[in-house]
Structure 1
Amino acid sequence: MSALNQLAKDVLLNYGMEVDEFKIIQNSGLKTIWKFDYNGKTACLKRLRHSKERALFSVNAQVYIQNKGGHVPSIYLNNDHEPLTEYNEQLFVVYEWIESKDLHFGKAEDFKIAMEALARFHTESIGYIPPEEAKVSSKIGKWQSQYESMKKRMLKWKIEASNNLNNKSHKAYFDNIDSIIELADISIGMLEKSSYFDICDNELHKFTLCHQDYGVGNVIYANDGPYVIDLDGVTYDLVIRDLRKIIGKKMQKGGVWKENIIKTTLSYYEKYSKLSPEMLELLKIDLLYPHWFFGDVKNLYKKNKSVSANKIESITKLELSKVSLLKDLF
């Protein structure tokens, strides 16, 4: 038996499970997933890459949602009746395995199912109170500081670009950054005048949990409907965070901003959970902020990866093209 499978075998003894055969589904760095059969059921063991305090937040959130009848995989409790197992200074969780197919966001029917599943997931997460020793993850009330921090970094990178104008990528960044900063300033100004801070003035458990990585592979379709999986990155935030990421990804993929994509996404989501006019205004503000420009260029400046001048030009065009569309939205 390989060392990894021996590790899985040893960990499962903490659940009173004796298992000899495993299939490794994923093995990237610390994160490892083993699939196995036990007592006629299929389950999976997952080794987490988070700290114990952070894992306690997300794992117990999943238990909470499942106990409310939410469609997330159920978690097996260990011999100490805990959802999280510590073994050899590593963290493990055992989940039920759900036979399913991926939902593809490019197919209208699949996308509709996925958006309704997201709305349910958000609603079912309200009321979650993490254990005391958990490290709470929250973005509530932090949008303005996040916007300002991204803007500050982009201005810092402008200085770096100005010293490297013989490089095409840095020149493209330097030529376009002022219009992007203008866009960031508009968003920040609108946020300051919005109802954001009043909405955020509440106890955390009154808010929803956002998935933060909701996309293909993290929502699956089984015989009894859709399931939301891989909740490792959940955080308290307004539902808008997940919706902004989904809409932006679609626009980036299509290379153009389309009003009907925003309206279709929202109509699917709102079949289960209606958004207030204040929330729609916040969605507009968050869509307006140049998140996608920042996401692309940070690879050049923060991660030292090459980003072509063409890519910088095209993401700038995409960001600027949305202004007139969003201005009259809602």
Structure 2
Amino acid sequence: MPYEAKLYKVNDLSEGTLKKTVLPHYAMENAKIEQIKFKDTDKQRAVYRVEYNNEVFCLKKVYFGVQDLLFVYSAIEWLYRNKINVPRLLPTREKGRFVQYNNMLFILTPWIDGIKCSYDNIDHIMASISYLADMHNCSEDFTPVFGSSNRGGFENLANSLQKHFNQLLNCSNLAFKYKDGFSKTYLNNFEENIELAELSARVSASIDKKNLKTSLCHLDYVNKNIIFDNDTRIWIIDFDKCKMDYCVHDISYFLRRLLKRDNTKWNIQTAINALKVYEEKRPLNLDEYRYILAYLSFPQKYWKISRDYYNNISKCNKSSFQTLISKAVEKTEFHAQFIGEFKQYIEDKFKTKL
């Protein structure tokens, strides 16, 4: 039966059920199993900690089909063979790399003991961005196994950002129409945010995509997926979103998650230092810096919150959205200052005007 993306009852994913139906395929009938994560969304997933014979494993229900899973398996194996620390998919009794039960797919990997990357630890940040360069360097020529899906990103950033820019303009029209508390906060912070969005759209339109280097990309390279083990070695986990893509997409995603935090608050020196560390192993050209600038410039949270609010204004919790937009604009000034300084840094580095 082909895999179908559908939701399953919690009972189908109970520890007792999986102990009887999935773990026997790994000869672990007597293992101790504990659910540690469950997301009951359209991409339903579940994660379990399994203990057996003094060893610890991670059992995971994936939310995609066999072809995508084969791509993920291929990516992990490729990286492992190129000396990147990744938890490999363990074989079943039948020598397979996954278990299919009740039209659901499960994988088992070693449990990686350690601590997640701390964004408040500068050594963790620099080691993580350096390791990302290693991953990109070794996977430019990545080829998945036969039967895999052909996972590729390569989104047209300019088209996406222009669309989002237009949505911000539309939200401003709606804000003038509704004139409620949320709309007041939105309009009070509109000028700085629309300037950030305009710069983002303009710079992205100038990128020559032929100059953007490609490789296998993780696409969720954030602190929870970067583990430092007891010997301070880095492990990369959770390749559910991996694709062939522009390397700068991975870099930009990592930096945005790092910089938007309260403790980091768009620190320009942290960003520049991280990029210098990456470039020690993998230099970046002007178009790649344009991509990073455009990606980081767009006011992502301001856009997303306002879009969701006006799309659901008749039924949403207005008080909750008011709290969200108020918190989102707290760092707008820091964001704008960062983008101005980062733009100047790029112009000085490449002796050009953006």
TM-score by length of structure 1 reads 0.84
Alignment counterpart, residue 228 of structure 2, candidates 197, 221, 230:
221
The correspondence for 2:219, drawn from 212, 231, 244, is: 212
Alignment-derived partner of residue 14 in structure 1: 25
Once the two structures are superposed, the pairs formed by residues 16-165 of structure 1 within 5 Å of their partners are 16-29=27-40, 30-38=44-52, 41-131=55-145, 133-165=147-179
Residue of structure 1 in register with 2:6 after alignment: none
Q: Kindly state the Cα deviation for residue 159 of structure 1 after the two structures are TM-superposed.
A: 3.1
Q: Is 2:200 aligned against 1:187?
A: yes
* Equivalence for 1:286: 295
The one-letter amino acid paired with 1:161 is: A
1:175 Cα deviation (Å)?
4.2
CA contact (8 A) 1:288 1:326 kept: no
How many angstroms apart in 2 are the aligned matches of 1:38 and 1:50?
A: 27
Q: In 1, are the aligned partners of 2:71 and 2:145 still within 8 Å (CA)?
A: yes
SS at match of 1:22: strand
Match of 2:249 among 206, 228, 241: 241
Please provide the CA RMSD for this pair: 2.9
**Deviations, residues 233-277 of structure 1 (Å, cap 9, x unaligned):** 223322222322333333322474332111121133334333334
Contact 1:207–1:237, Cα closer than 8 Å, also in 2: yes
Instruction: Using the TM superposition, name which of 296-305 and 319-328 deviates more.
Output: 296-305
Q: Percent identity, aligned pairs only?
A: 20
C-alpha distance in structure 1 between counterparts of 2:198 and 2:125, whole Å = 33
Provide closer, same or farther for how the CA distance between residues 129 and 302 of structure 1 changes in structure 2, counting only shifts above 3 A.
farther
Supply the distance in 1 between the matched residues of 2:58 and 2:265 (Cα, whole angstroms).
40
Asked if the contact 2:19/2:29 (under 8 Å) is kept, the reply is: no
Amino acid at match of 2:220: D
Deviation of 1:229 (Å): 0.8
1:106 shift after superposition: 0.7
Paired residue type of 1:5: G
The answer to whether the aligner puts 1:317 opposite 2:326 as a matched pair is no
- Give the C-alpha shift of residue 131 in structure 1: 4.7
Cα distance in structure 2, aligned partners of 1:269 and 1:5:
46
Question: 3-state DSSP class of the match of 2:223?
Answer: coil
Shift of 1:81: 3.6
- Whether the aligned pair in 2 keeps the contact of 1:117 and 1:228 (CA below 8 Å) is no
Q: Quote the Cα distance in structure 1 between the aligned partners of 2:159 and 2:67.
A: 24
Counterpart selection for 1:267 from 249, 253, 276: 276
SS state at 1:14 partner? helix
Paired residue total: 322
Deviation at 1:76, TM superposition (A): 0.8
Distance 1:306 1:159 in 2: 18
The Cα offsets for residues 190-233 of structure 1, whole Å up to 9 and x where unpaired, read as 223232x2235xxxxx8223323322221111245110111112
CA contact (8 A) 2:211 2:288 kept: no
Which of 162, 182, 185 is the matching residue for 1:172? 185
1: CA distance, partners of 2:127 / 2:204? 31
Q: CA deviation at 1:95?
A: 0.5
In structure 2, what residue type is equivalent to 1:293? Y
| Structure 1 residue 51, shift from structure 2 partner | 4.1
Match of 1:198 in 2: 210
d(CA) in 1 for partners of 2:101, 2:196:
49
Q: Check the 8 A contact 2:203/2:290 in 1, yes or no.
A: no
- Uncovered stretches (5+) of structure 2, i.e. residues with no partner: 1-12, 347-354
Q: TM-score, normalised by structure 2?
A: 0.79
Q: Is the 8 A contact 2:129 2:278 kept in 1?
A: yes
Alpha-carbon displacement from aligned partner over 1:5-46 (angstroms, at most 9, x marks no partner): 332442122334433422333233342222223455322211
What letter is aligned with 1:71?
N
